[in-house]
Amino acid sequence: MTTSQLPDSPQNSGLWQPNRQLSKSMELLAKIVFGAFGLVSIATTIGIVLTLIFETFLFFQEVPIWNFLTDTQWTPLFTNSQYGIIVLISATFLTSFIALIVAMPMGILAAVCLSEYAPSGLRKWLKPALEILAGVPTVVFGYFALFFVSPILETFVPGLRPFNGLSAGIVLGIAILPTIASLSEDAIYAVPQSLRQGSYALGATKRETVTNVVLPAALSGIVASFILGIARAVGETMIVTIAAGQNPRLTLDPRVPIQTMTSFIVQVAKGDAPTGSIEFITIFAVGMTLFLITLVLNAFSFWFVGRFREKYE
């Protein structure tokens, strides 16, 4: 490592004469500069909020907020345009819901497996392997959903179209699985060993210990991981854009093409909409809706963890 030296090495001066004034100014300068760097992250948040509010405000001058909330059609790119955000929200809800059906049970079981059943030697390999899954770019997952999962599902799901919510949702579930598994595993791992031993001493089997003692004790962390998973599924863009199609329609049928909030933003941004046009500000209104949904999820998770956290010494 580096060889440490005194600020002013006494080799040539004979006596060490520290320049205290300089040190103090450097200290202050470092503090101010690094504090300013910290401000960048706050500025980011403010920038996001202001941008979304400003453009959404412009949008609601063109489109009444009532129509935005109650229309049941989403046709902003047609001449007879209608702006029912519920169409896009229902599609986002559908894909996220399918993703959760896949990711919640698998994530929690994988977390239990890693922390309770896997021998520690194997665990050292399994965790990084799951992290690789988390590092796969989502555009790759989209490719996989469209060209691998969809054709397989087509063979046994009647009426399945090439672009559909089902395969997008399933692959979305695989994509958020590592998030849920890894965070749940942290929570389960943090449950003190004495609780498990107490349960065994009362005659419970390993499964009974896990389901009745360990999982309830880790509940706040597990729920937090679920909510982060939901937030990721709602905000995920490429998988649903590639595999779920671009057809805004109000349906909960997972076999047909649908359009989520994120894939609408991509569709417009890809089409080079002129700045200030109604299409252009529409993507900010949709982005605002998306941002509010993730904000509510985040706030709920914050509240839940604070309310139900079990503290162990």
205 near other proteins (CB under 8 A): yes
- Residues in 123-182 that interact with other proteins by CB under 8 A: 126, 129-130, 132-133, 135-144, 146-148, 174, 177-178, 181
34 near other proteins (CB under 8 A): yes
269 near other proteins (CB under 8 A): yes
Size of the site for other proteins (CB under 8 A): 95
Pick 66 or 156: Cβ nearer other proteins: 156
Smallest distance, Å, CB 181 to other proteins?
7
Smallest distance, Å, CB 79 to other proteins?
25
Smallest distance, Å, CB 97 to other proteins?
17
306 near other proteins (CB under 8 A): no
Residue selected from 14, 159, 203, 274 as contacting other proteins according to rule CB under 8 A:
203
> What separation in angstroms does the CA of 94 have from each of 114, 167, 234, 237?
30, 11, 10, 14
40 near other proteins (CB under 8 A): yes
42 near other proteins (CB under 8 A): yes
Pick 63 or 177: Cβ nearer other proteins: 177
Residue selected from 58, 77, 113, 219 as contacting other proteins according to rule CB under 8 A:
113
305 near other proteins (CB under 8 A): no
Residue selected from 160, 214, 258, 290 as contacting other proteins according to rule CB under 8 A:
290
Pick 252 or 269: Cβ nearer other proteins: 269
Stretch that binds other proteins, among 75-83, 153-161, 192-200, 206-214 (CB under 8 A): 206-214
284 near other proteins (CB under 8 A): yes
Q: Are 273 and 279 in contact (CB under 8 A)?
A: yes
- Residues in 219-248 that interact with other proteins by CB under 8 A: 228, 231-232, 234-238, 241-242
Max Cα–Cα distance, the chain, nearest Å: 89
94 near other proteins (CB under 8 A): no
